[in-house]
Amino acid sequence: MKRHILGISFVLLVALVSFISVAEAEEFHWGFKPSKNGEPVEIGEPLETLMNKYGAIYKGSPEKKIVYLTFDNGYENGYTESILNTLREENAPATFFLTGHYLTSATDLVKTMVKDGHIIGNHSYGHPNMARLSAAEMKTEWKKFDDKLNELTGVKRTYYARPPEGIFNEEVLKVGNEAGYRHMFWSIAFKDWLKDERRGAKYAYDALMGQLHPGAIILMHTVAQDNAEAIPQFIKDAKAQGYTFGSLDDLVLEHEKISPY
C-alpha cells in the first residue's frame, strides 16, 4: 500500500511538472479587440497577469491623454526619413524597434534616430520566433543586436524589447527580465506592414484616430507610405483633442510610480 501511494504521488508530481512546463512553453500571439470611442483596450486573462508578473507594458494610464509612438523596422522602404522629419517638426518622441538587418542596412537613419533623441528598441537581431528559442538563444539574439548597435552608434545597449510578430511565451518575458529587458507591446495597431499594398493616407489616419485612447502605445511600420503621409495630420489632430506624446521612458517611470522630478 505504501509503495502504491508513493507511486501515485510520483505520477501526480510528474503531471504537475509537465503542466508547468507546458504553461511556460505556451505560445501567445499578441492581439486584442481594437479600441472604440476612446476606451482603453483589455487583453484579459491570463495575459494581464503575465504582463504584470514580468513588468511588460502594453498601455499607459487610462486617466491621462498621453500616447506613445513606436515603430517596428525590419527593412527600409524609403519613408522613414519623412517620418523622422515629422516627429522632429512636431516635437514628438518615438521608440524604434529595429532588427539587425535594419541596423546594418540603414545605419545613417539609425544614427539620425539616436541624434534626434528617439529610443532604440530591440526587435531581435534576426527576427526569429522567440518563443521557439532556448534561453541561451534568446539572449544571443538580444545581445547580438546590442553589440552591433553599440558598434555603429555608440549606444551601449537597449532596455526595451519587442518580440517579432508579437509571438512570445512566459519564458521570453522571464529570460528578457534576467537579461535586463522590459517587453513593450501595444494597444493600437492595424495592417500596415505590406510594403506594396497601398490603401491611402486616409486608411492609416482613420485607423489611428478610430482607435485613439488615453495611454495608447501605438505600433506602426515605417515601410508604409500610408503611414508617412498620415502621421503629420494625425499628430496635429490628436494634439487638438488634448493628447500629448510621451516616450516609453516616461511610461516606465509612471508604471513604476517614480517621479521624474
Contacts of 212 (CB under 8 A, 6+ apart): 35, 38, 67, 188, 238, 241, 243
10 Å Cβ neighbour count for 47?
17
| Nearest Cα residue to 103 out of 94, 113, 93, 90 | 113
250 part of the active site = no
β-strand pairing of 182-183 with 28-29 = unpaired
β-strand pairing of 167-168 with 28-29 = antiparallel
Cα–Cα distance for residue pair 231/53, rounded to 1 Å: 34
Cell numbers for 182:
522590459
| Nearest Cα residue to 59 out of 38, 73, 29 | 38
Q: Position of cell 487583453?
A: 43
In this structure, are residues 201 and 234 in contact, taking their beta carbons and an 8 Å threshold?
Answer: no
Q: Which of 72, 146, 192, 226 is catalytic?
A: 72
221 part of the active site = yes
Q: Which of 127, 183, 213, 221 is catalytic?
A: 221
| Angle at the Cα of 15 from the Cα atoms of 10 and 17, rounded to 5 degrees | 95
Cα–Cα distance for residue pair 121/45, rounded to 1 Å: 26
- b or e along 154-165 (b: 16 or more beta carbons within 10 Å of the residue's beta carbon)? ebebbbbbbbbe
The residues annotated as belonging to the active site are 72, 221
